[in-house]
Amino acid sequence: MPKSSSFRALVTGGAGFIGSALVWELNRRGIDNIVIADRLGTDEKWRNLVPLKYADYIDGIDLISSVQSRPESLGQFDAVFHLGACSATTERDSDYLMRNNFEFTKQLALWAVARNSRFVYASSAATYGDGTHGMDDTMSDLDCLRPLNMYGYSKHLFDQYATRSGLMRRIVGLKYFNVYGPNEDHKADMRSVVHKSFAQVLKEGRIQLFKSHRPDYKDGEQKRDFLYVKDAVNMTLHLGTSPLAAGLYNLGSGEARSWVDLAKAIFAALGKEPVIEFIDMPDTLRDKYQYYTCANIAKLRGSGYSAPVMSIEDAVADYVKNYLMHDRRLGDEVA
How many Cα atoms occupy the beta-carbon half-sphere of 322 within 13 Å?
Answer: 15
Phi, psi of 213 (to 5 degrees): -115, 25
The secondary structure of residue 292, as a DSSP letter, is B
Q: In terms of residue numbers, what domain contains 83? A: 9-177+227-253+294-309
* 328 belongs to a structural domain: no
* 319 belongs to a structural domain: no
* 280 belongs to a structural domain: no
Query: Which residues neighbour 200 within 8 Å (Cβ) at sequence distance 6 or greater?
Result: 206, 207, 208
* 300 belongs to a structural domain: yes
The secondary structure of residue 108, as a DSSP letter, is H
Task: Given the residues 54, 121, 128, 151, select the one marked as catalytic.
Answer: 151
| CA–CA gap between residue 257 and residue 195 (Å, rounded) | 17
Closest CA to 181 of 327, 35, 18: 18
Q: What is the pTM of this model?
A: 0.93
Phi, psi of 206 (to 5 degrees): -145, 165
Q: Kindly report the CATH number assigned to the domain that includes residue 29.
A: 3.40.50.720
Q: Is 187 a catalytic residue?
A: yes
* 276 belongs to a structural domain: no
Count the Cβ atoms, other than its own, within 10 Å of residue 190: 16
The domain tally of the chain equals 1
* 279 belongs to a structural domain: no
| CA–CA gap between residue 102 and residue 208 (Å, rounded) | 35
CA–CA–CA angle 80, 86, 88 (5° rounding): 140
Q: Is 272 a catalytic residue?
A: no
* 168 belongs to a structural domain: yes
* 239 belongs to a structural domain: yes
pLDDT one digit per residue (tens) for the chain, 335 residues: 655 668 999 999 999 999 999 999 999 999 999 999 999 988 889 999 999 999 999 999 999 999 988 988 999 999 999 998 876 777 778 888 888 888 999 999 999 999 999 999 999 888 998 888 888 899 878 988 998 888 889 999 999 999 999 999 999 999 999 999 999 999 888 899 999 999 999 999 999 999 999 999 999 999 999 999 999 999 999 999 999 999 999 999 999 999 999 999 999 999 999 999 999 999 888 887 888 889 999 999 999 999 999 999 999 999 999 999 999 999 997 54
